[in-house]
Structure 1
Amino acid sequence: MNRFLSLLFLSFIVVSEVFAQKNKAQKRPNIILILADDMGFSDLGSFGSEMETPVLDKMAKEGLKMTNFYNASRCCPTRASLMTGLYPHQAGVGDMVNTRPQPAYQGYLNKNCVTIAEALKTYGYATFMAGKWHIGQVKDNWPTKRGFDKYFGLIDGANSYFENRPYRPNQKLTIALGEDQYQTPDGYYSTNAYTDFAIKFIKERKDPKQPFFLYLAYQAPHWPLHALPEDIALFKGKFMQGWDVLREQRFQKQKQLGIISANQKLSPRDANLPDWNSLSQKEKEDWDEKMAVYAAMIYRMDKNIGKLKAELKAIGEDENTVFMFLSDNGASHENINANGFTPQIIEASKMPASNPSSFTAYDFWGANVSNTPFRSFKHWEYEGGTATPFIAYGPKWIKPQINHQPAHIIDIMSTCLALAGVNYPETHQGNKILPTIGKSLVPVFQKKQWEGHKALFFEHEGNRAVRVGSWKLVSTYPANQWELYDLSKDRAEQQNLVSQFPERVKEMAVLYHEWAQHTGVIPFELLDKKKP
C-alpha cells in the first residue's frame, strides 16, 4: 500500500510538472514598446553613431535590427498610427493636434480605431504608459480614456525636462499622473521620471502573474536640449571634428555593421550647413556643446532602459518580455526663433545648451549628422524624415538577425496582438473598428518568411510618398512634383529617375491617389482653407 501511495504521489509530481511546463510555455509575454522622440536614424551606436548606447546596442546585437522600418515623419501622426495599426488619417490625426472639422484631421484619436492598450486590456493584460502622449489634449482623450490602466507623463508635444515651462504665448502644458495634473518636484528630470513611474506601475500591479503592456514614450531627444551635468561631461569635446567628418565616420560604420549596403552613397552636406572650417572657434565650441547635450539625452535614455531591464530581472520577468524600440520621426531641423515662442524662451535660446535654464535646439547642423546617410528631416517624406532605427529584443521570442525588408509602424499593433494570441477587434465599446492592413512581425522575429507589404504610403502636410519594393515615389509641398528613386541603390535619394521610368511613376501615383482617397487625405492647400 505504501509503495502504491509512493507511486501515486510520484505520478502526481510528474503530471504536475508536465502541466507546469505546459503553462509556462503558454505564458503570454509582457510587451514593452519604447519610442524615442526626434531621434535620427544613425544616433545609436548599433546604427552608426559614435555615441554611447550600450544597452540598446546589446539588445540590437542579441535581437533584431530592421534597417528599412518607417514612421509617419512627425510626432502626432506617428503616435496615432503606432497606437492603432492604422494610417494616421484613419485614426483622426492626419496632421497635428489642431482641432479641425474634417474627421481625418480632428486632432485626436477617433472612436473607429482601437489602441493596442484597449485591445490587450480586453484580453487580460495590464496596460501602462509613461511619457509623451500628444494625440489628444482634452482630458476625454487622455491615455486612461484609451485603454491604459495607469499613466504618467507629458500630454503635450514638448516641454522642459526639468520643470513644467510653457514656451508659447497663452500656452498651458500638462504633466499628468492618471487624470490629475502633476507638480514636478525638485530634482525632476523627465527621462528618469518616466522610467521610475513605469517601473512603479509594473511592480504594483495587483496580480504579479498578469502579463502587461508598457508604452514608454520618452521625450528625449526632442528640443529643448536638456541633460544632466554628469552626462554632458561624458561627451564635451567629442564633436569638434565637425559635421563632415562625423557623417563620413557614421556612414562607414553603417556599412561595416550591415545597416547600409556597400553600393550606397552618402548624401551631400545639407545646403543649410556652411563648411565646418569657415566657422569661428566659438561657433565650433557652441555646436560641440549642443551635440554633447544631445548625446547626453540619448545616453540617459539608454541608461534608463537598462534600469528597466534590471528591474524586470529582479522580479523574474526579464525572460518573458519582448522589447521593441524605434523613433517617432527623423531628426529635427527645427530651431528656437521668434516665430511663435515667448520672449523669455527666445532669451533662453541664447544661453549655453548645458545651462538647465536654457531652451535650445541643434537645428539643421545637428540633424544632418543624426540622419546620416539620408537627406532631409522630420516633416518631409524623404528617408531622413521617415526612416527609423528599429530594434526588437527578447531571447525567448526573437532570433538575432538584421532584416532589410520594409516595415511600418502600422505593423506594431498586429505584432503585439500576435504575441498575445489576440485577434484584432471588429468592434470596441459598440463602435465599428476600421480594419488594419498592418502585418505581424512575429515571423520576422522567428527568422521565418514574411510576405511584407505590397506598398507603404506617407502623407503629412502635403508631403507625399509611396514605396513599392525598392522603388519610392516622393514629392514635397507646395511643389507637388513627383520624384522617383531606387532605394536599393540610392537610399540617400540623390538620383531622380522620374524621366527614365514614366510608366512606373504613373502606376505608383495611381496607387498613392487610391490610398489617399481611401484614407481621407485632403490636399494640404484645400485643408488650409478649411481651418475652423
Structure 2
Amino acid sequence: MILFADDLGYSDIGCYGGEIETPNLDRLASEGLRFTQFMNCSKCAPSRVALLTGLYPIEGGCNGPPAQMVNGMTIAEVLKTAGYQTWMTGKWHAKENPVKRGFDRYYGSLKGGSNYFEPKGDFMEGDKPIKPVTAENRDTFYTTDVYTNEALKFLEEHKEGESPFLLYVSYNAPHYPLQAWPEDIAKYRRKYLKGWDAIKEERFKRQLELGIVKPGWKNSQRDPDVPAWEDFDRKDDADLTMAVYAAMVDRLDWNVGRLLAKLEEIGVSENTVVLFFSDNGACAEGAMWDGVTARNKPDTRNSQAKLGKEWANACNTPYRKFKRYMYNGGQLTPFIVRWPEGISEVNRITHEPAHIVDLAPTLYSLAGADYPEGQKWEVPHEKGLLKDWTVQPLSGTNMLPMLKGEPAEEGKYYFGHFQAGRMIMKDGWKLVSDGHDGTVQHLYDFPWELYEMDTDATESHDLAAQYPEKVAQMDRDYRAWIDRADRLTGVKSHEWYQPRFTDEQRRVADELADDREMKRLLKERKRIGLKIVEELEAMKLGMKTVLGMAKVPMSYFGIVEAGRKYASKSRSLDTLYRAWDEKVRESERFCSQKGEIYAEVWAIQERIRIRLPADEAD
C-alpha cells in the first residue's frame, strides 16, 4: 500500500518534528522504519514518473509538465504479471489513463491540483469520466476523504485467499488551494501566532531530540525573501493560512488511520508493506493571502489560497528552499516503511540515502516479479501518444537490504533535474545548482555548489571552491548522464534546460563572450533594442513584459521579439526592426565564419536571449 502525499513539508508530521497532530503516521513510524535522506524529484509530475517506472523523470519522458511515461513499465503493469490486483485512487498527473497503464481499478483526478470540496474536470472512475460531486454528497465531499473511501471499498472487496494487491492512494493534500473542514481549521486557529521563526526553531529542536537531524547540523537560515515574524503586519491572516494547512495535514493523517485499521480488519496487516512519503517539499509557489482578494481568503470553501514562502520555509525545516528546487528543502521527504514480517527492528531511523526511483525495483523484489528489460512493451493506444518502446534498465536499486539494516550501496549515483535546477550525489557528496525560477531562461549555467551530506545536509557550507577537481569530475558525470537521458527521449536539455552546454560548447560560449567583434555587435543590438523598447512603451500597447512565476522584468531581447507584430504601425519602429534584424544576421555570419560549433552555440543563445530576465541581458 503506497500512501503518497502532495507538497508535504519535511517537518510537518509529528514523527519528523512537526507540531501538527499526526497520531496515525507517528504510529506507522513507531512500527516501522523512518528514512531521513529519502529523495524525491522536487515536483509533482516528475516524482510520479519516478515512482511508477523506476526511471528518472527525464529518462521516462517527463521534463516537468505531465507527460506520457515512456521507456519503461509502471509498477502496476509489472506487478500484474506476478499475479497482483492493482488499484489506485487519487491524483494521477500523467497523460495516460491509469487503467491503460496497468491499474485494474481507478477513481480520481487525472489533473494535478484541484479543489477539495468542488473539483471540476478530468475526474474518472476507471476510464469513464464522472462528475464526482452530486446533490447527495455535496455536503460531505472532500477529496482526501473520498479518495480514502474509494480505497476502503477496494480493500473491503478483497477476499481472503485472493491474489495479493497493490493499492496506490495518491492524495492531493496538502497541495494548494488551501481548503479544509471548518472543524479541522478551528483545532489549529491561533496556534501559529507565535510565527514562522518560532515554529522553525521549535521543529528543529524536536528533530534533534528525535534523531531526525544529526548533532552538529545547523538549521537553515530564514529564506532571504521571508520577513522576520516581528516585522510582519498581518499576523492573524498568516495564522489562519497555516491553520488551514495544518488542518489539511491533520485530515490526511486521520484518513491514513482509516486505511491502517482496514488492513487489520481484513487480516492482511502483518503481510502488507505500507509506504508513506511525499512528491516534493512544501510549496512556495504564489503568495499568501494579501488580505484583499476575497477568493484567496484561506477559510472559504472555494478559496485559492496558497502557503507562501513564509510558511513553506518553516515547513521544510531544517532544509533550504522549496518544491521545484534540487536543494534538500525541495527533494527530501519523510519516508516511512512498515513491514511487520520483514523489518525486525522497529521504530528505527536511518540516515542512509535512498531515492524514489529505488521503490520500483524494491517492490519487484518483494513481489517476485520479473522486469522485462530490453523487451518491447506495447500499451493501449491513446490519441497523440506512443504505443510501444523498448524497456530500459531501471535507474533505481533494490532497497530490501537497507530495510533490514544494511548500509547503502557505495559508489551509487543519484541524479536530479528539473528545468533550471540540477543535482548529482555520490558517496555523501552532493553537487547542486540553484536554477531560481525554472520557468525563466538563463544564458549561462548557474554555478555548481558542493556539500558534504554527512556533516552538512542542511547545505550551509559550499565547498566547491575547496574541491575544484571533485566538482569537475561530478560535473562530467552529470553531463554524461543527461546526454544518455536525452538520447532516450529526444529532448535537447542542453538547449532548454541546465546544463545548457557541453564542455566544448561552454568553452566556445566563454570565447564568444570575450570576443571584441561579438561585443561590438551585441552593443549595437542593445542600442537599437532599447530604442525599440522606448517606441513600444510610447505606444501604450499594454504588452506583457514580465517572465515566469516570479514575474521578473523581461529583457529588451524579449520585448523586441514580443513587439515585432507592431512594427508596421510606425515607420520609425519598422526602420528600427530592420536595423535590429541586420545586426542579427551580421552576428550569425560572424559566428558561421568562425566554425560550425560557434554557429551552434550562437543559435542556442539566440533562443535563450528572448527569455532572459532584464538583469541578465548584458
The TM-score, its normalising length taken from structure 2, stands at 0.73
Is 1:270 the counterpart of 2:217? The answer is no
Q: Is residue 117 of structure 2 the alignment partner of residue 162 of structure 1?
A: yes
Letter of the 1:114 counterpart? M
- The corresponding residue for 2:35 is 66
Cα distance in 1 between the residues matched to 2:494 and 2:19: 39
**What do residues 24-69 of structure 1 show as CA deviations (whole Å, max 9, x unaligned)?**
xxxxxxxx11111001111111111011111111111220101110
Tell me the residue number matched to 1:131.
90
1:503 maps to which of 465, 469, 484: 469
| One-letter amino acid of the structure 1 residue matched with residue 42 of structure 2 | S
Output aligned runs, 1:34-73, within 5 Å: 34-73=3-42
- 1:309 counterpart residue number: 260
Alpha-carbon distance, 1:307 to partner = 0.3
Look up the SS of the partner of 1:197 in the other structure.
helix
- Aligned residue type for 1:379: R
- The equivalent residue for 1:33 is 2
In structure 2, which of residues 142, 147, 152 is the aligned counterpart of residue 189 of structure 1? 142
1:519 to 485, 506, 512: 485
Q: Is the 2:288–2:306 contact (alpha carbons within 8 Å) kept by the matching residues of 1?
A: no
> Aligned AA for 2:333?
T
Match of 2:235 in 1: 284
Match of 1:466 in 2: 424
SS of equivalent residue, structure 1 residue 458: strand
| Whole-Å separation in 1 of the counterparts to 2:46 and 2:492 | 15
Count of matched residue positions in the alignment of Structure 1 and Structure 2: 469
Residue of structure 1 equivalent to 2:127:
179
Q: Using a 3 Å threshold, how does the CA distance of structure 1 residues 127 and 70 change in structure 2: closer, same or farther?
A: same
- Asked if structure 1 preserves the Cα contact closer than 8 Å seen for 2:6 and 2:173, the reply is yes
Structure 1 residue aligned with 2:99: 144
Deviation of 1:337 after TM superposition, in Å, equals 9.4
CA distance in 2, matches of 1:524, 1:129: 36
Instruction: Report the counterpart of residue 229 of structure 1 in structure 2.
Output: 182
The CA distance in 2 between the partners of 1:378 and 1:500, in whole Å, is 29
Q: Of the two, which has the highest radius of gyration?
A: 2
- Show the 5 A alignment for 1:431-510: 431-451=389-409, 454-477=412-435, 478=442, 479-510=445-476
SS in structure 2 at match of 1:188: coil
Instruction: Tell me the SS of whatever aligns to 1:263.
Output: coil
SS in 1 for 2:276: strand
**Alpha-carbon offset, residue 492 of structure 1:** 1.8
8 Å CA contact retained: 1:85, 1:412: yes
Among 413, 423, 438, the alignment partner of 2:360 is 413
CA contact (8 A) 1:348 1:357 kept: no
Contact 1:407 1:452 in 2 (8 A): no
1:98-157 C-alpha deviation (Å, 9 max, x unpaired): xxxxxxxxx2212x2100000001111000000100011xxxx11000000000111101
8 A Cα contact 1:407 1:453, kept in partner? no
Following superposition, the deviation at residue 452 of structure 1 comes to 5.6
Matched letter for residue 394 of structure 1: W
Structural RMSD (CA): 2.0
Task: Identify the match of residue 318 of structure 1 among 264, 269, 281.
Answer: 269
Rounded Cα–Cα distance in structure 1 between residues aligned with 2:130 and 2:31: 38
Which segments of 5 or more consecutive residues in structure 2 lack a partner in the other structure?
A: 379-387, 436-441, 498-603, 609-618
Q: What's the secondary structure of 1:406's corresponding residue?
A: strand
**1:325-344 Cα shifts (integer Å, max 9, x gaps):** 11101110012699xxxxxx
Q: Does 1:397 align with 2:349?
A: no
TM-aligned CA distance change 1:458 to 1:361, over 3 Å? same
Who is 2:590 aligned against? none
Deviations, residues 418-465 of structure 1 (Å, cap 9, x unaligned):
111112222334742101031111112222354266210111002111
Deviation at 1:207, TM superposition (A): 7.1
Tell me if the contact between 1:333 and 1:367 (Cα under 8 Å) persists in the aligned partners.
yes
Q: Any residues of structure 2 matched to 1:202-351 within 5 Å, and which?
A: 202-205=155-158, 209-280=162-233, 283-335=234-286, 347-351=293-297
Identity over aligned residues, as a percent? 41
Answer yes or no: is the 8 Å Cα contact 1:84–1:114 preserved in 2.
Answer: yes
Query: CA contact under 8 A between 1:48 and 1:253: conserved in structure 2?
Result: yes
1:122 aligned to which of 74, 81, 96: 81
Structure 1: state its 5+ residue gaps: 1-31, 98-106, 166-172, 339-345
* C-alpha contact 2:410 2:427 (8 A) present in aligned 1: no
Residue 89, structure 1, aligned to residue 33, structure 2: no
CA distance in 1, matches of 2:453, 2:46: 24
Name the CA distance, whole Å, in 2 between partners of 1:524 and 1:191.
Answer: 40
Q: From the superposition, tell whether residues 39 and 180 of structure 1 become closer, same or farther in structure 2 (CA, over 3 Å).
A: same
Bigger relative contact order, structure 1 or 2 (CA pairs below 8 A, ≥6 apart): 1
| Residues in 2 aligned to 1:503 and 1:304: alpha-carbon distance in whole angstroms | 50
- In 2: Cα distance, 1:398 partner to 1:243 partner: 37
Q: Is the 8 A contact 1:348 1:359 kept in 2?
A: no
> Moved runs in structure 1, 4+ residues, more than 6 A?
none
